[in-house]
């Protein structure tokens, strides 16, 4: 029995130290498989499409999109209220440290909202909408 407990005493710290690396490895494997499946799907669909314009539209629809200012404002409001909730939890129950964390999170949300108002719509987005309208 002593031998088993001694072995667990060594095994537990090794697992605890290697767990973050294992989690990161799992995330990378999952992401690479998703990308491969996405590109395989594009290839299969493009084989059945004869119009190159449709293939181009398909590829554009699968690209990762940047956050627009509306998204920044929305996520800013959500972050502000998360910060306010943390602040209230610290004020009511847990203590000063959570008040500081809540204020920090709320200020990050305010920064996101300000960024959403400062950075206007990207000109390339406007051009894309105009080009799609002109096609019709």
Q: Please give the Cα distance from 84 to 78 (Å, whole number).
A: 10
Percent of the chain with pLDDT over 70: 79
Tell me: pLDDT of 1 over 70: no
Q: Please give the Cα distance from 110 to 18 (Å, whole number).
A: 37
Mean pLDDT (the chain) is 77
Tell me: pLDDT of 51 over 60: yes
Q: Please give the Cα distance from 42 to 129 (Å, whole number).
A: 23
Looking at residue 53, its pLDDT comes to: 76
Tell me: pLDDT of 69 over 60: no
H-assigned helices in the chain: 2-47, 52-62, 69-89, 96-118, 123-135
The answer to whether the CB of 83 falls within 8 A of the CB of 102 is yes
Question: Angle 62-68-70 (CA atoms, 0-180°, nearest 5)?
Answer: 130
Average pLDDT (4-10) is 73
Q: pLDDT tens digits for 83-101?
A: 888 888 888 888 778 888 8
């Amino acid at each position: 029995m002593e031998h088993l407990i001694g072995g667990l005493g060594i095994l537990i710290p090794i697992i605890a130290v290697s767990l973050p690396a294992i989690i990161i490895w799992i995330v990378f494997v999952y992401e690479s498989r998703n990308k491969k499946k996405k590109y395989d799907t594009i290839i299969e669909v493009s084989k059945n499409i004869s119009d190159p314009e449709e293939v181009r539209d398909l590829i554009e629809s699968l690209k990762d999109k940047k956050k627009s200012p509306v998204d920044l404002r929305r996520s800013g409001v959500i972050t502000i209220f998360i910060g306010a909730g943390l602040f209230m939890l610290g004020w009511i129950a847990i203590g000063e440290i959570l008040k500081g964390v809540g204020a920090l999170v709320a200020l990050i949300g305010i920064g996101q909202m300000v960024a959403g108002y400062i950075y206007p719509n990207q000109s390339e987005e406007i051009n894309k909408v105009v080009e799609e309208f002109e096609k019709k």
